[in-house]
Chains A and B, each alone.
Chain A
Amino acid sequence: MTSPSNLKYTKSHEWAQIQERAATVGITEHAVSQLTDLTFVDLPRVGDKVAAGSRFGEIESVKAVADLNSPLSGKVIEVNTALASDSGLENLSEDPYGRGWMIKIELSNPAEAASLLSNAQYDQYIAGSEH
């Protein structure tokens, strides 16, 4: 699978769609397929501060629990509260780059984006990690 080219990625399998001083954040299709059978997502509240590379929430599946790490630093300005329901979790499984978005951040340091992976770099990274 090829990850969308308009997004930036982390090695912990989050994506960010950056628009000037704001970013939408979610997890990749690869992350969803690794977890499978999602049961729970714990997200921050509007107004919470998040830091690049630090935990902003938690995701759980029948198989495992994983941290959600923020690709970028800033303040949470919107949260996808639909993910609290089972139908929301289905959206996340089916459409991780769209309806499965998690948080929107007002960026405190947009220059951090330079250290994120492009889709080609991310795809290469996950291809390598499967061996």
Chain B
Amino acid sequence: MLKTPLAAIHEGSGAKMVEFGGWWMPVLYTSITQEHTAVRTGVGLFDTSHMGRLIVRGGDDRSFLERMVTNEVASLQNGRARYSLVTREDGGVIDDILIYADSDHYFIVVNASNCETVLSWFRDHIKPDDVTIEDVTERLAMIAVQGPAAAALVKPMITGCDASALPYYGFAHGSWKGAAVVISRTGYTGEDGFELFIDPAHAAPLWQALTAGGAKPCGLGARDTLRLEAGMPLYGHEIDLEHNPIEAGLGSFVKLEKGFFVGRDALARIRQAGPARRCVGLEVNARRIPRAGHAVWSGGAPVGAVVSGTASPTLAKNIATAYVPAELATVGTALEVEISDQRHPAVVVKKPFYRRG
């Protein structure tokens, strides 16, 4: 099992640790709901050093990436990041990624559990020889600072760039106490915030400086409840090889008009015909928490399944995402979710469940 440069800090502070995507990660420090609320109302800190990081450079790296991802790469300006899917020929999702356009390379953040898969998919597929792909995951720590108070905390710490002036999905090179930092205005929580990339040797002191500045350490538990409220997909739940971006509700990140990319033909057919099922948001009226795998019922028959669910700390409601037939995906549709042999009323609601004010 792999350990991030911050694992000793997590263990030393009494965090509950779990294996996630091959990494030994904190699931919570004190309480998922307390950590969640810290991010919604103040500032929270996440070790995301498990995320896979790749550098693609050389030759016509732009055209290569354009053929490998669903979103448009050509229009991505230097200093900006863009969300995209990587799909198979049949439209099934291999991973969801962030592509950062830097001066002489593309920097790509992939899911920890998919890093090897994406790396070999990119390397073995249709890569020209002069494009190189490097796995730099273990050469960079990654820390997410998220919440309405994130900008005020980070801005005075990072020199060489103005963190608070970064646009959403913008990034810049700066430094912290002389160490090079890449800072991007990105995150996975639905709040304002930043992700910092730094040499592993400086990760622990940077983490400690951020906590000393008031950021609350948060684990993967809160990361999951925050992203679910914010309507963001998690690989292995809303998206996987068996689900395509159109039915997942991620069609706006699929640019058919840009020309060829792997999966384009299949996704064009699906968009034309309309997907047979859709990933919907549900509010479930139950004391019990809907969880992945729970059956969704309509008219006395099972029609689908929950893919993510939680007790939403912000809304104080039980929420879920679920795949259901397209004709049952309209907002307001009454459904039922089966939890522990009992069916509970649920209603299709608009995603995201939470949008920051």
Is B13 located at the chain interface by the 8 A CB criterion? Answer: no
Q: Which A residues from 49 to 86 make CB contacts under 8 A with B?
A: 58, 60, 62-63, 65
Q: Are B288 and A62 in contact (CB under 8 A)?
A: no
Measured between beta carbons, the chain B residues less than 8 angstroms from A3 are none
Measured between beta carbons, the chain A residues less than 8 angstroms from B33 are 37, 62
User: What is the CA–CA distance of A83 and B225 in the complex, to the nearest angstrom?
Assistant: 24
Q: Are B31 and A37 in contact (CB under 8 A)?
A: yes
Q: Are B16 and A37 in contact (CB under 8 A)?
A: no
Contact status of A60 and B289, CB under 8 A, knowing A34-B16, A37-B33, A39-B311: yes
For this complex, into which size category does the number of interface residues on chain B fall?
Answer: 10 to 19
Q: Is the interface of A mostly helix, strand, loop or mixed?
A: strand
Residues 207-235 of chain B, each 1 if its beta carbon lies under 8 Å from chain A, else 0: 00000000000000100010000000000
Measured between beta carbons, the chain B residues less than 8 angstroms from A60 are 288-289
Q: Are B28 and A58 in contact (CB under 8 A)?
A: no
Residues 13-44 of chain A, each 1 if its beta carbon lies under 8 Å from chain B, else 0: 00000000000000000000010110110100
Number of A-B contacts (CB under 8 A): 34
For this complex, into which size category does the number of interface residues on chain A fall?
Answer: 10 to 19
Q: Closest approach, in angstroms, between the C-beta of B317 and any C-beta of chain A?
A: 12
Partner of A62, one of B16, B221, B287, B340: B221
Contact status of A63 and B32, CB under 8 A, knowing A34-B16, A39-B287, A39-B289: yes
Contact status of A63 and B288, CB under 8 A, knowing A37-B32, A58-B340: no
Q: Are B288 and A36 in contact (CB under 8 A)?
A: no
Q: Are A63 and B340 in contact (CB under 8 A)?
A: no
Q: Are B16 and A40 in contact (CB under 8 A)?
A: no
Q: Closest approach, in angstroms, between the C-beta of A33 and any C-beta of chain B?
A: 9
Measured between beta carbons, the chain A residues less than 8 angstroms from B30 are 36
Is B27 located at the chain interface by the 8 A CB criterion? Answer: yes
Nearest opposing residue in chain A for B27, CB measure: A63
Residues 130-164 of chain B, each 1 if its beta carbon lies under 8 Å from chain A, else 0: 00000000000000000000000000000000000
User: What is the CA–CA distance of A65 and B309 in the complex, to the nearest angstrom?
Assistant: 13
Q: Closest approach, in angstroms, between the C-beta of A45 and any C-beta of chain B?
A: 16
- Contacts A36-B30, A36-B32 supplied; 19 other A-B pairs, CB < 8 Å: A34-B16, A36-B28, A37-B31, A37-B32, A37-B33, A37-B311, A39-B287, A39-B289, A39-B311, A40-B287, A40-B288, A42-B340, A62-B32, A62-B221, A62-B225, A63-B28, A63-B32, A65-B289, A65-B291
A-B contact pairs, 11 of them (CB 8 A): A34-B16, A36-B16, A36-B28, A37-B33, A40-B289, A62-B221, A62-B289, A62-B310, A62-B311, A63-B28, A63-B32
Q: What residues make up the interface of B, taking CB atoms closer than 8 Å to A? A: 16, 27-28, 30-33, 221, 225, 287-289, 291, 310-311, 313, 340
